[in-house]
């Protein structure tokens, strides 16, 4: 990418044929040709240039989807980007592409709970074993690698508890043992870190979140290097995963302001996090804000910035008072997902974390997740300050 990230986002995807600054929405199931020979010619082009957008059937994509693929391929610095109808669809595609019966998967313990359900329970029925390693102990990962290990799946930072791992050491172990690697990079996006460039085989982003930025679209991206491209291409064809052109258009439009929004999310989150670290009722702010912590060191080593999602560890013998703290917030919505322009808050019940092996949560400790949106941070801080009084 010769232009800066910020400039590229504003200029990529222009359609001079239709004279539009954003690619038009092209909806099609049947793609029509002038002759059978023309269909065969297009199919041959697809074989010779598999990332060139040579479609012969609507399930393969349209010009709208191809425009988004090209933008994300550049942002990720990857060989190709596959698009799925949800972020979790991208998780499934990554795992389904490279793992087979008899294989083992090593996953960081604080992964997204549906990813845990897929790997720990569902894949078990297909004789695929999931093992979970301590994200704060690289030796635990090293000791759990076996001859059957086919994939190391990393979510960074950890879901809801925000552990940052030493990514280069994970990649080194994987390459030494010829193991595939995947990283769920929804928190950071390629604006703050590029997993493929770092050495991962696959990079997953839930486009539902920061790519869209407006909480009104579902989608997922799976960026891959050349090593795994054929595996993912084959799996993508047989599963029939496809992002709709309407959602592709909305995600492309959202990407125009990705840098502006993430810069503001980060700025606001830092101000809120600094306020919360000074409050005696907050045991720990789960965000890379304190320079002497492992979380900060590992974030600083690999990331150029931080997004707006953070966690709070609160110690209280009165669970209801913590829930009341959350419920009394006026500027924070209550709902799943994040990455939109608005602030959100959730009380994280331990049961929702799944069967975590290394969840460092003591008795009377509670998790609250906050997504810091694009509102005035002074207003958010005042809202939090007013509600914190309910914690007993």
191 has a pLDDT exceeding 60? yes
* 51: phi then psi, degrees, rounded to nearest 5: -110, 15
Calpha distance 162→86 (Å, rounded)? 22
* 365: phi then psi, degrees, rounded to nearest 5: -105, 140
Helix (H) or strand (E) holding 183: strand 180-184
* Stretch 339-357: mean pLDDT: 89
Q: Identify the CATH number of the domain defined by range 5-255.
A: 3.40.640.10
Question: What percent of the chain clears pLDDT 90, i.e. is strictly above it?
Answer: 80
353 has a pLDDT exceeding 80? no
pLDDT tens for 276-306 read 999 999 999 999 999 989 999 999 999 999 9
pLDDT tens for 33-69 read 899 888 899 888 888 888 888 888 888 888 899 999 9
Contact, 294 vs 284, CB < 8 A?
A: no
Q: Mention every residue, 6+ apart, whose C-beta is less than 8 A from residue 243.
A: 65, 68, 83, 84, 85, 219, 220, 251
pLDDT attached to residue 25: 87
Give the helix ranges, DSSP H, for 12-147: 36-48, 63-76, 87-98, 113-116, 138-144
Contact, 43 vs 101, CB < 8 A?
A: no
- Mean pLDDT value across the chain: 94
pLDDT attached to residue 30: 87
* pTM (predicted TM-score): 0.93
Instruction: Report, in angstroms and rounded to the nearest whole number, the Rg of the chain calculated over CA atoms.
Output: 22
pLDDT tens for 118-151 read 999 999 999 999 999 999 999 999 999 999 999 9
pLDDT attached to residue 48: 87
Paired tokens of 154: 């990393």
Cα 375 to Cα 342, 343, 347, 382, distances in angstroms: 7, 8, 21, 12
Calpha distance 128→124 (Å, rounded)? 5
pLDDT attached to residue 313: 96
Residues of 302-317 as b/e, b for ≥16 C-beta within 10 angstroms?
bbebbbbbbbbbbebe
Domain residue extents for the chain: 5-255, 258-388
Give the helix ranges, DSSP H, for the chain: 5-11, 36-48, 63-76, 87-98, 113-116, 138-144, 167-176, 189-192, 195-198, 226-239, 245-255, 258-277, 294-302, 319-327, 377-388
Architecture of the CATH domain 258-388: Alpha-Beta Complex (3.90)
Q: How confident is the model at residue 2 (pLDDT cuts 50, 70, 90)?
A: low
Calpha distance 180→193 (Å, rounded)? 19
């Amino acid at each position: 990418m010769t232009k800066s990230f910020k400039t590229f986002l504003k200029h990529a995807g222009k359609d001079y044929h239709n004279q539009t600054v954003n690619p038009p929405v092209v909806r099609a199931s049947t793609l029509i040709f002038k002759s059978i020979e023309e269909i065969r010619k297009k199919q041959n082009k697809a074989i010779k240039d598999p990332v060139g957008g040579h479609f012969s059937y609507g399930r393969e994509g349209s010009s709208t989807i191809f425009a988004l693929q090209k933008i994300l391929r550049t942002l990720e610095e990857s060989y190709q980007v596959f698009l799925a109808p949800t972020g979790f669809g991208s998780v499934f595609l990554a795992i389904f592409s490279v793992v087979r019966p008899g294989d083992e998967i090593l996953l960081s313990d604080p992964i997204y709970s549906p990813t845990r359900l897929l790997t720990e329970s569902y894949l078990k029925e297909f004789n695929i074993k999931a093992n979970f390693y301590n994200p704060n102990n690289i030796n635990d990962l090293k000791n759990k690698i076996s001859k059957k290990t086919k994939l190391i799946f990393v979510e960074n930072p950890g879901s809801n508890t925000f552990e940052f791992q030493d990514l280069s050491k994970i990649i080194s172990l994987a390459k030494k043992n010829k193991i595939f690697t995947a990283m769920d990079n929804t928190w950071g996006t390629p604006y703050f870190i590029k997993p493929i460039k770092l050495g991962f085989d696959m990079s997953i982003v839930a486009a539902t979140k920061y790519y869209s930025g407006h909480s009104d679209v579902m989608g997922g991206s799976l960026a891959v290097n050349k090593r795994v491209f054929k595996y993912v291409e084959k799996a993508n064809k047989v599963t029939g995963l496809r992002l709709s052109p309407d959602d592709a258009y909305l995600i492309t439009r959202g990407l125009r302001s990705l840098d502006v929004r993430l810069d503001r999310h980060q700025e606001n989150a830092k101000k809120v996090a600094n306020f919360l670290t000074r409050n005696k009722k907050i045991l720990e702010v789960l965000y890379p804000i304190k320079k002497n912590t492992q979380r900060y060191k590992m974030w600083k080593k690999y990331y150029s910035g931080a997004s707006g999602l953070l966690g709070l560890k609160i110690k209280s013998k009165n669970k209801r008072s913590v829930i009341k703290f959350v419920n009394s917030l006026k500027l924070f919505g209550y709902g799943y997902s994040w990455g939109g322009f608005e602030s959100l808050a959730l009380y994280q019940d331990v049961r929702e974390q799944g069967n975590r092996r290394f969840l460092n949560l003591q008795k009377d400790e509670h998790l609250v997740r906050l997504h810091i949106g694009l509102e005035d941070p002074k207003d958010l801080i005042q809202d939090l300050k007013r509600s914190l009084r309910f914690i007993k």
